[in-house]
Amino acid sequence: MVALSAQAALKARIDTLYRSESRRVLATLIRLLGDFDVAEEALHDAFRAAVEQWSSTGVPDNPRAWLVSAGRFKAIDRLRRNARFQGDFESIVQGLAAADADPADRDFDQVEDDRLRLVFTCCHPALAPDAQIALTLREVCDLTTEEIARAFLVPTPTVAQRIVRAKHRLRDAGIPYEVPGHAELPQRLDSVLRVIFLVFNEGYSATAGDSIERRDLTGEAIRLARLLLTLLQDAEVMGLLALMLLHTSRRAARVGADGDLVLLPEQDRRLWDRALIAEGEALVQRAMATRRIGVYTLQAAIAAEHARATTSADTDWSRIIALYDILRRADPSPVIELNRAVAVSMRDGPQPGLDLIDALLARGDLADYHLAHAARADLCERLGRFGDARSAYRRALALVRQTPERRYLEQRLSGLPSR
Concatenated DSSP letters of 69-108:
HHHHHHHHHHHHH-GGGHHHHHHHHHHHHHS-S-HHHHHH
- Sign of torsion, CA 166 169 171 173? negative
Q: Look at residue 173 in the predicted model and tell me its pLDDT.
A: 87
83 belongs to a structural domain: yes
Q: Look at residue 3 in the predicted model and tell me its pLDDT.
A: 53
Q: Look at residue 251 in the predicted model and tell me its pLDDT.
A: 92
76 belongs to a structural domain: yes
397 belongs to a structural domain: no
Q: Look at residue 252 in the predicted model and tell me its pLDDT.
A: 92
384 belongs to a structural domain: no
Q: Average pLDDT across each block of 10 residues of the chain; the chain has 419 residues. List them in order.
A: 69 89 88 86 93 90 91 85 57 52 45 75 88 87 83 84 93 84 78 88 76 80 88 91 97 86 91 96 96 93 95 94 96 94 97 97 92 97 96 96 90 88
State how far the Cα of 113 lies from the Cα of 133, in Å rounded to an integer: 18
In a 10 Å sphere around its CB, with 0-12 CB exposed, 13-18 middle and 19+ buried, how is residue 153 labelled?
A: exposed
**pTM score:** 0.77
Q: Look at residue 83 in the predicted model and tell me its pLDDT.
A: 55
User: Any alpha helices (H) in 112-155, and if so which ranges?
Assistant: 114-122, 129-139, 145-152
Q: Look at residue 110 in the predicted model and tell me its pLDDT.
A: 45
Q: Are 291 and 285 in contact (CB under 8 A)?
A: no
Q: Look at residue 191 in the predicted model and tell me its pLDDT.
A: 83
Give me Rg for the CA atoms of the chain.
24
Q: Look at residue 10 in the predicted model and tell me its pLDDT.
A: 87
356 belongs to a structural domain: no
402 belongs to a structural domain: no
Provide the number of structural domains found in the chain: 1
259 belongs to a structural domain: no
24 belongs to a structural domain: yes
Domain region containing 5? 1-111
